[in-house]
Structure 1
Amino acid sequence: MTAPVLPASLLVAWLPLALLGFPFGPGLDRDATPRTTVLFDHRLAGFSRPEATVSQQGKKQSGSSCWVLNEENVSKIPQLRRKRGDVLKDLIKDLIKETIEMHYERQCSVVVDGLSEPVQCPRCSQTECYNHVRFLQRLNETHLYACGTNAFRPLCSYIDVERFALSRSEDGRERCPYDPAKPYTALLVDGDMFSATQYEFRSTSDIRRNFPFPVLKTEEAPTRWLVEAEFVGSALLRESANSSVGDDDKIYFFFTEKNQEQAPYSTHTRVARVARVCKGDIGGQRTLQKKWTSFLKARLLCSVPDYGLQFNVLRSVAVLHAPSVHDSVLYGVFSLEWKSVKVSAMCKYTLSDIQRAFEGPYMENQDSRWREYTGKVPEPRPGSCITDEHRSQQINSSRDLPDSVLAFARRHPLMATQIQPAGGRPLAVKKSTDYTRLGVLPVVALDGKTYTVLFMTTDEGWLHRAVEVEERLHIIEELQLFKEPQEIYSMVVSPQQRSVYLSAQTGVVQVPLSACERYTSCWDCVFARDPFCGWDGRVCVEARQRSGRSNLIQDVQTGNRGCEKSSGDAHVAHRTRSVTAGNDILLRCELRSNLATPRWTLNGRDLQGYGLDSGYRVGTDGLLVIGARVRQSGQYRCFALENGVQVPLRRYTVSVRASAPDSPSAAPPSEDPAERPLPSPPVPLPVGPEFHSYRHMEALYMSLVAVLGGLCLVLTVVLLYVSFCARHARHSRKFSQQGLWVTAAAERKRSSLLELNTVSSHCNGRMDGLPARERQTVVREESSFLQLVPGDGQSTRSKDAPPPAPPLPMPPPLPDAEYANGLSAALPNMLRKMNGNSYVLLGQPEAETTSPLCHSFAEELNRILEKRKHTSLDPEPDESSV
C-alpha cells in the first residue's frame, strides 16, 4: 500500500507543528521515551574514561577534534598485551579509526590526476594535515592492516601485533579517502579488501575491491551506478555456508545517494540504498572489464504510512548475524532531509526481504526517467553470483558470462522492489533527537528468549540503551556521556569486556553494558525490562554473573510481573506536616521513571482534578496544596502508576490549623517574639508538566501585555510627531502669508509690529524728512550688510490712535527672471532672488515722501548689489540671511 500523496507545501507546513508538540495519533504512536535519565553528575563508578588509551601527550591539538594515540601509548595498555590484539580489534576498530592521529609535520596536499597539488585551506595546517587513521582491522594472525589520510596523501601500513610496530607501508590512494571528513566504509574478507568512498579530489564515490588483483570498480557510463553516495557501513554475509545451490558470499554496502527516481514530493531529493556485490566477482572478459558484474542496488524504505512521512537519510547501520545467515537482520537509523527538524526513526529489515528485492524486477532508464523494466531478461540472470546452475552451463566465473548478460547488468543496476521494514513501520520514532551511531548485541534473558539490545548515540553526546520487544523499542535509559554537548564519532560494543567504548571530541569513554545496581527496588528492576538484570530479593544484580538464576525475578516481555503487588506502607517513608490555614504546602514525591504518572489519595480517596480551582497542583516532584484549608487535613499517599502497576512511594500526615479571626476586638499581637506565629517558609513550586503549562500561560499573557504596551507607546510617539509637524506647517503658512511678526517679552504689552525700512547711508542719520511712522525701525547699512535695529512701535503713536492695520498678504511671486543690475519698478514689494539670497521689502515708503537728500531705494539697492556681485558667497547660504 503506497503512502497518501500530500502537497509538499502542506506537508512542510504541518511537519514542524506535528513534531514539536502535537499529538502523534495512531500513525506516530511509537515515539520512544527513555524510562530513566542519568545526568553527567549522577553516573556510577562503572562509567569511566579509560585513561590508559590516551597518552600523556594525548592532549587535544590546537583546533583538532581527535586524540593522539601512537605505538608507545598502545603498548602500555595491559588488556591489549594480554589478548594479543584481540581486544585491540574490538577496542580500536571503528572506535578510533576516525579520531586516532599519527602526527606528520608535512605540507598538506591532494592528488589530482596523478599530480600532487597543495590544498588552499586555512584549517588544513591544524587538523586535516594529520594522519587520520580511517581503517584498522586484523589481516592475519601476525599483522594488522591500517590506512590513514596522511596529510591528504593516503598511506596504508602493516602493523606487527606482537611488537605493535610498523612493518612496512604502501600507497593507500585506492583504499582510503584523502579527506578525514569524507564518508567511508571498508572491511577485509579472507585477505581481500572491499572499500567504498570518494578516493580522490575530483573523483566520484566508488565501491572497489582493492587487492588482490584484479582491482574492481563501479561503472560510471553510460548509466551511473552511484550518484553522490555517502556510505555509512558495510557487512559480509556468508551466504555460501550450507547453501543448497552453491551460492557465493556477498558484501553489502549501505549509503544515501541522490534520488534518481520520480519522487512523490519535490523535497525528497535523497534516498537510502543497499548495494550488493559477490565476493568471487572478478569482472567481465570483454564487457565490464575491471568492473563489477554482480553490482545491484535497491531502496530502503523507512516511513510512517499514515502520515506520508519518509525518513530518507541513512545515518548508521548494524547487522545482527544469526546462526542461519538467512535469519540475519539489519537495523538502521534514519533521519529527515530537513536539517531544521530533529527527529529520528529506527527501522528493522530481514535479510530474506533484501534478497527478495534483488531477485525481483529491474528498473530501466528511459528518456532520463527510471521506470520498471517489463521486457525479457536474459539468461543466466544478470547480477547474480556464480552458483551450481551456472557451473552446469560451463560458467565457472564472471568472465565466462555472455556479453548480452553483462550489457544488461551494465544498464540495469537498480531494482524496482523497495525494501519495506519489518512490520511495515519503524520500531520507534524519537522526536528532538538525531541518532548518529548504532550498535546491537543479542542477549539471552531469564525466560530463555534472545532479545536484541541496541546502543544509540546522539549528536549531543548522549547514549540511549534500548531493547526490542515484539517489534517495538523500549528505551531503558539515556546517559549523558559528556558535560558539554558534542557528537559521538564512533562506538564499539565489546561483549568480552562487557563495555561500550565511545569516542568524541574530548576523549574516549567506557560505559558498562548494564548498570543493574542503579535499580533500588524490585519493581524498579522489573520495570526497566533490562535483559541483563534480575532481582534476587535484596538487590538488582547482573543475571549472567549468577550461577543459580532460578530465583531471580525478571520480566522483559511485559515488565509488570514477579514482584509482590502490595499497597501497604511498610516500606514507605512517612512524614508529618503542620501548617496554618491559607499557606501553601509542598508534599514531595519524586518519580524516577519518565514513564510513570503520579497518583495521590487523601484519606483513601483519589484527589479529583488538579486545576487552579481545586486547590491542588501536581508535578513530577510532588503535590502542591495552594492556600491550605482545614478540610484538607488528613492522610496523603503518593503512588507511582507505571505499566499498569501502582507502587506506593510516600505517606504524609497533614494538619491544617485554623487562622486567628481578623477583627478590631482581637487581641493585639504578643510582644514576646517566642509567642508570635512564625511566618510560613516559602514553598518551592513543583515542576510538573501541568505546572509548567500554567507558568507558560502566565509568561504568554505577560508577553502579550508587554507587546501591546510597546505598540501603544510607539503609536503615541508617532501621533505626537505628526501633530507637531502639522502645527509647524500651519505656522509656516501663516508666517509666509501675513508677513514677519515678532513677539515681544511676556512683560510687554501686546505684540508690536516691526516695519522694515531701508535708509541710504547718504542720509547721514537725518530723518527730518521721514514720517514719524517710518522712524519706528531703522535699518542701517554697515560694510554692505543690513542690520535690524528694533524699535518701539508705540513710542510715537498716540494712545488714543487706533492700531495700524495688519500688512496685506504677499502677492504671488513673479516668474523667475535674472537681472544683471537694478530692479524693475514693480519689484520693490516683491520677493527677489539673486545668487541664492532673498530680499524681502515690507512697507516701502513712496518716492515723494522720501527726503530729497536720500537716494531712491532702487539706486541704493543696485549699488549694494553691485558690490556684492564680486564677493564670494556661501555655496549654501542661510535662507534667513539678509
Structure 2
Amino acid sequence: NMQRNERWFKVSILYCVMLSQLWAFPFSPSLDLDVTPRTTIFHKDFWSCNNGFTGSSQNYSTLLLEEETGRLYVGGRGALYALNTSNISTSANLTIDWNASPEQKKQCLNKGRNNQTECHNHIRFLQRFNETHLYVCGTNAFRPLCVYIDAERFNFSSGFEEGRDRCPYDPAKGFTGLLIGHSDGEMFTASQYEFRSSPDIRRNFPFPTLRTEEAPTRWLLEADFVGSVLLKESINSSIGDDDKIYFFFTERSQEQVAYPSQTKVSRVARVCKNDWGGQRTLQRKWTTFLKARMVCSVPEYELHLNVLRDVFVLQGRDVQSSIFYGVFGLEWKNIKASAICQYAFSDVRRVFEGPYMEVQDSKWREYTGKVPEPRPGSCITDVHRSQGINSSRDLPDSVLTFARRHPLMAKQVHPVDLRPLMFKRSVNYVKIAVHKEPALDENLYTVLFLGTDEGWLHKAVEVDGETHIIEELQIFAKPQPIESMVTSAVQRSIYIGSHSGVIQVPMSACQRYTSCYDCVFARDPFCGWDGRVCVEISSRPQRSNLTQDISRGTRGCKENPGNGPVIHRRRAVMSGDDVLLQCELRSNLATPRWTLNGKELQGYGLSTGYRVGTDGLLIIGARTQQGGSYRCFAVENGVSVLVYLYTVKVHTDPYFPVEPTDSTEPTTISSPVVFSTASPTEQPLPSPPAPLPPGANFQTYRHMEAIYISLVAVLGGLCLVLTVVLLYVSFCTRRESRSRKFSHQNLHVLGSSDRKRSSHLELKTISSHCNGRQGRRSISVPTFGDFNDSFLQIIPGDDQMSPAKTPPPAPPLPNPPPLPNMDYANGLSATLPSVLRKMNGNSYVLLRQADPEGMSPLYHSFTEELNRILEQRKHTQLDMHPDESSI
C-alpha cells in the first residue's frame, strides 16, 4: 500500500507539473507558440459573404468533392445530396432519402440505443467506385448497409448489401476508408465493425479479405482511426516496390511511456496494397502490417500532445517529397490545447526500416536479436521475385511468425524541426485542410485551414517554419464542431460540414482589408494592394503594381500612416468626470499608443490620471489641463497607424451649452444628465444666464428664454415620467410572488471618498409582463441622502436576459422611446466597447456618485472589472437578441 500511495503521489505531482507547464508555456520568453489570430470575424459580419446549404437531415459528416463534374456529394443522417460546387445553395441540388426502416429503428431501441442520435442511418462511407457509380455505406440504425448509386441520375442502381464488414455500426466510432482503382475496385477500411469486436484494419474486397491479428499479440488496442492515404511507391520504382496504404489513429498505449498519466499514443500504420496473407501462418491476415508512434511535443517543456484528431496528406511528386499534417490534442477533457505537427513520409519509411519492439516479461522492449530474411513487414520487390517469392503467400513461416509477434517499431516518428509547427492554447482543433498558394515573391506558401470544436475556422500561413494566423471566422452562430472539410482549388472555396448544414467559404476575402497597411499587415498570400483597394492576386494578370509582404508584413506601403481612414469625435465633459475614449483596433496583434496635443502619454496609473485598457483610454477625474487633441495609434509590426482622433474639452460649469459638432464626424455631443438631490416637489431652478453683451438683440433674449423654458419643461416631464415609473414598479412588485435578482447586470453605486455615503443598490427585475417586451429592463433608482453638491450619472449599457429564466406572460405595457445612438458626456457611447461584444459579454449599468472636491474611486479600468465578471460567466448561454437598456 505504501508503494502504491507513493506511486500515485508521484503521478499526481507529475500531472500538476504538466498542467503548470501547459499554463505557463505560452508566456515563456524563450518560446512562444501560442499564436493569436490577427483579426476576428463574427458570424453576423461573415454570413453575408458565403453560401450555405441545409437539407432535411442532420450531421453532414461525409463530403466527396469532384472538381471535374462540379459536384459536392454530401452524406448526412438519412439522406444524400449532390450540390453544385459553384453555389451549394442553389435550388438545383439533388437529394436521395435513405432512412432506416421503422422495424430496424425498433430493434435499435431494443438494444438500448439512443433514438435521437444512434437509431438512424448515418452515412459514413461515400466514394467514387468507377466512372459511372458511387459506393455508399450507412450505419442503418446499428445494422450497416451499402449500396451503389448512379452518379449521373443520382439514384440507387442496385439492391442493398450487407455492410457489417465495411462500415461501423456506431456513428460515433472512428472510421476511415479507401476505394482504390476504378477497374479492380479494392476497398480498405479501418474501424470497429461490431459491438463486441476490436477495431481493426481490413481489406473488404476483392477476395480474400484480410484483417489484423488479435493473438498472441494484439496489433491494435482500442484504436480510434482518423484518416488513411494510398502512396503509389511503385511508380518509377527502380526495385519494383509495391504501393502502400497508411492509416492514422490513436490507441491505448502498449509500451511503457514517460508519463503514466497519459494512457494514449498516436500511431501511423502501414500495409502493402498487394498483400494476400500467408499460406499457413497469418491466413487471411496482414503479413506486412507495421505501426510506429508519432510524437508531437514541445521538447523544452516536455509537453506531449498524444491524441491525434485529424490528418491531411499533401502528396508531392514522389513519396520522398510527400508530407502530412496532424492535429494533436490532450486526452484530458477539461483542458483545451492543440498543436499542428508536420511530418515527412521519408522519416516514416526510415522508422519502418529500423529496429522492432517485442514483449519481454510482459513489457515492450526493443528487439536486439537476429531479424530473418526477407525483412518482415516489407513489400514484395524485384529482390524477392529473384528469390522465387512472388507474393506474400510464398514467404517462409519464420518471417511470418516474426511479423506476427513484432508489429511495433522501436523508433518514433518525429515532426519536422522536432517541434510543432503551431501551438494554440484554449482551442481544440478537430479538422484540417491544406492548400498551396503562390505569392508575389514567387514562393509557394502553405495555407492551413483549421476547424474547431465550436464552429470557428482559423486561416493560417506557414512562413519560415512558423505559423501566422491571418484570421478566425465564426462559421456557425451556434457553437458546434466542424465535422468535415474539403478545399476546392477550382472554386477557390472551402466546404465545411457540421451538425446543422454545409457552408461554402471563400479561401480569401481581400475586400475586408480597407487600407494598404491593413492589407500588407495581414500577410495573406491571396491578397495584394493595388493602390486603391486590396484585391485577390490571382484575379490580376498584371501584378507589377501590387504590394504584398508575406515574410515580414511591413514593407510596400508608401503612404503616410496618418493619412488613412480616421474616426474623428468631439467630447465635452465636466471637470472631475471620468471619460472613456474608445479605440477599437481591428487587429488583435496591434497595441494602442496615445498622444495628447502631439506628445505621447507616458505611463498610465493613478498618479497620472490615465488608465489604458483594451477598450480605450480612461481619463480619471478630468482636469482642465487634460483637454486637448487625443490621438490613438494602432502599433503593429513596428508601424504606427492613426485610427482615432478625439477633441476633448473640460468644462467647470455643469450647465455648459452644447457645442456644435462638425458635420463630418460620426457622433454628437450631449449635455450630462443631472439629478437633483432635493425632493421631487422642490426642483431647483437653473442658475440665471449671464448678462448679454451690450447691443444684443432683443430676439436673443427671447431665444434664451425659450431655451430655459424648454429645459424646465423637459426636467419637469422627466420627473413626471420617473414618478409614474416608480408607481408602476411598486404596483408590479406587489404582484410578484418573489423578487428576482438581476442576473446579467452588475450594479455598482460608488459614492465619494466617504464610504458611508456610498450605497449598493440591488435592482428588482421587471419581467416582460410589466413592459410588454420579450426580455427585461433595468430601472435605476437613486438613493437620496446627504450628497452635498455631488450628482449622479448613469452610464447606459446593453441588457441581456438569461435564457434560463423565461419571464411569465402578462399584460403589455407601451415601450419607452429608444435611446439615441450618440456619445454621452461621460465618454461612453450607447453601445458598449467592442471588446465586450467580442467576448459575448453581458453589459452592466454603472451608477456613480462623483464628488468634484474628492477623488473618484473609479480607478480601475472598466475592462479589467468586466473581464473578471465575464470570465466567470463565459460558459453561460447568452441571449443573442438582447433588449435595449432603459434609464
TM-score if structure 2 supplies the norm length?
A: 0.70
CA distance in 2: counterparts of 1:671 and 1:698, whole angstroms: 46
Q: How far does residue 92 in structure 1 lie from its aligned partner after superposition? A: 5.8
Q: Give 3-state SS (helix, strand or coil) of 1:695's partner.
A: helix
Q: Structure 1 residues 332, 252: CA separation in 2 closer, same or farther (over 3 Å shift)?
A: same
Q: How far does residue 245 in structure 1 lie from its aligned partner after superposition? A: 2.2
Unmatched segments (≥5 aa) in structure 2: 1-8, 82-94, 656-684, 690-704, 713-790, 794-823, 837-859, 873-887
Select 2:102's aligned residue among 97, 100, 106.
Answer: 106
Q: Give 3-state SS (helix, strand or coil) of 1:49's partner.
A: strand
CA contact (8 A) 2:108 2:141 kept: no
* 1:633 matched residue in structure 2: 627
Pairing 1:497–2:514 present: no
Pairing 1:162–2:162 present: no
CA contact (8 A) 1:516 1:525 kept: yes
Select 2:861's aligned residue among 675, 679, 691.
Answer: 691
Percent identity between the aligned chains?
Answer: 59
Bigger Cα displacement from structure 2, 468-477 vs 182-191: 468-477
RMSD of Structure 2 on Structure 1 (CA): 3.4
Q: Deviations over 1:667-700 (max 9, x none)?
A: x962458579998733338677983674279979
Superposed counterparts of 1:394-793, under 5 Å: 394-564=388-558, 566-569=560-563, 571-658=565-652, 670-671=687-688, 674=707, 681-684=825-828, 691=861, 694-695=864-865
Q: Deviations over 1:316-352 (max 9, x none)?
A: 1101111233111111111111111111111111111
For 1:336, the aligned partner's letter is: L
* 2:177 matched residue in structure 1: 186
Select 2:11's aligned residue among 4, 8, 11.
Answer: 8
Q: Deviations over 1:125-161 (max 9, x none)?
A: 4443322211111111111111111222211111111
Bigger Cα displacement from structure 2, 38-47 vs 381-390: 38-47
For 1:87, the aligned partner's letter is: R
CA contact (8 A) 2:572 2:825 kept: no
Unmatched segments (≥5 aa) in structure 1: 1-5, 111-116, 662-667, 703-882
CA distance in 2: counterparts of 1:236 and 1:94, whole angstroms: 28
Q: How far does residue 575 in structure 1 lie from its aligned partner after superposition? A: 3.4
Select 2:167's aligned residue among 169, 176, 182.
Answer: 176
* 1:33 matched residue in structure 2: 36
CA distance in 1: counterparts of 2:316 and 2:167, whole angstroms: 30
Q: Structure 1 residues 101, 562: CA separation in 2 closer, same or farther (over 3 Å shift)?
A: farther
Q: Give 3-state SS (helix, strand or coil) of 2:276's partner.
A: coil
Q: How far does residue 608 in structure 1 lie from its aligned partner after superposition? A: 1.1
* 1:138 matched residue in structure 2: 128
CA contact (8 A) 1:463 1:481 kept: yes
* 1:323 matched residue in structure 2: 317
For 1:104, the aligned partner's letter is: A
Q: Give 3-state SS (helix, strand or coil) of 2:300's partner.
A: coil
* 1:66 matched residue in structure 2: 59
Larger Rg: 1
Q: How far does residue 109 in structure 1 lie from its aligned partner after superposition? A: 7.7
Q: How far does residue 107 in structure 1 lie from its aligned partner after superposition? A: 2.7
CA contact (8 A) 2:223 2:249 kept: yes
Pairing 1:148–2:128 present: no
CA contact (8 A) 1:600 1:638 kept: yes
Q: Deviations over 1:197-234 (max 9, x none)?
A: 01112111010111111111111111110011010111
* 1:88 matched residue in structure 2: 72
Q: Deviations over 1:229-266 (max 9, x none)?
A: 01011111112222222221111000000100112221
Q: Give 3-state SS (helix, strand or coil) of 2:27's partner.
A: coil
* 1:730 matched residue in structure 2: none
CA distance in 2: counterparts of 1:569 and 1:501, whole angstroms: 39
Q: Give 3-state SS (helix, strand or coil) of 1:254's partner.
A: strand
For 2:28, the aligned partner's letter is: G
Q: How far does residue 424 in structure 1 lie from its aligned partner after superposition? A: 1.2
* 1:388 matched residue in structure 2: 382
CA distance in 2: counterparts of 1:69 and 1:527, whole angstroms: 36
* 2:721 matched residue in structure 1: none
* 1:290 matched residue in structure 2: 284
CA contact (8 A) 2:590 2:635 kept: yes
CA distance in 2: counterparts of 1:147 and 1:427, whole angstroms: 36
Q: Deviations over 1:747-799 (max 9, x none)?
A: xxxxxxxxxxxxxxxxxxxxxxxxxxxxxxxxxxxxxxxxxxxxxxxxxxxxx
TM-score if structure 1 supplies the norm length?
A: 0.70
CA contact (8 A) 2:80 2:98 kept: no
Q: Structure 1 residues 635, 696: CA separation in 2 closer, same or farther (over 3 Å shift)?
A: closer
CA contact (8 A) 1:67 1:101 kept: no
Bigger Cα displacement from structure 2, 486-495 vs 289-298: 486-495
Q: Structure 1 residues 405, 209: CA separation in 2 closer, same or farther (over 3 Å shift)?
A: same
Q: Deviations over 1:789-815 (max 9, x none)?
A: xxxxxxxxxxxxxxxxxxxxxxxxxxx
CA distance in 2: counterparts of 1:68 and 1:227, whole angstroms: 25
CA contact (8 A) 1:346 1:426 kept: yes
Q: Structure 1 residues 572, 141: CA separation in 2 closer, same or farther (over 3 Å shift)?
A: same
Q: Give 3-state SS (helix, strand or coil) of 1:617's partner.
A: strand
Q: Give 3-state SS (helix, strand or coil) of 2:477's partner.
A: coil
For 1:39, the aligned partner's letter is: F
CA contact (8 A) 1:522 1:563 kept: yes
CA distance in 1: counterparts of 2:70 and 2:651, whole angstroms: 71
CA contact (8 A) 2:61 2:499 kept: no
Aligned length: 667
